[in-house]
Amino acid sequence: MSKKLLTMAAALLVTLCLAMVGCADKSVRHLASDAVLITPEKTTKEGVLAYLGPPDQQIEMADGGESWLYYQVKKDTLRKTPYIGEKFGEQHYDTVKVVFEGDLVRTCFYRQMTEEEFEEGGPVN
């Protein structure tokens, strides 16, 4: 192989490695599929932590129960575009609300909300 070809191959390899390292740090949550793993009256708080991780928000309820809220923003490709994404792109929110009675899950709800719904009521609704 020529020296120029080897240099180009090495540069391409370094570029690919750097691109992969940049993506490796991003944690990915799949709330919809992970919420399906939670079974009311069987799954414990420990199980919810294993499936979904720590909650984004916790709420103590008047009846002594507890709610854990999970949410994440999903942006389409246009929304991620610098400068124009805010005007033309769309985003929605995946939310999961887990309600506990003692250590067991009483209910678990998954909901996808528009940006407007999320801004009006937050992940609680």
Task: Show the tokens assigned to 90.
Answer: 């769309």
Name all domains of the chain by residue range, CATH numbers in brackets: 29-124 (3.30.1450.10)
- As a whole number of angstroms, the distance between CA 91 and CA 120 comes to 15
Q: What is the pLDDT of residue 67?
A: 95
Give the number of other CB atoms < 10 A from CB of residue 108: 21
Stretches in the chain below the pLDDT threshold 70: 1, 8-11, 14-28, 79, 85, 123-125
Q: What is the pLDDT of residue 56?
A: 93
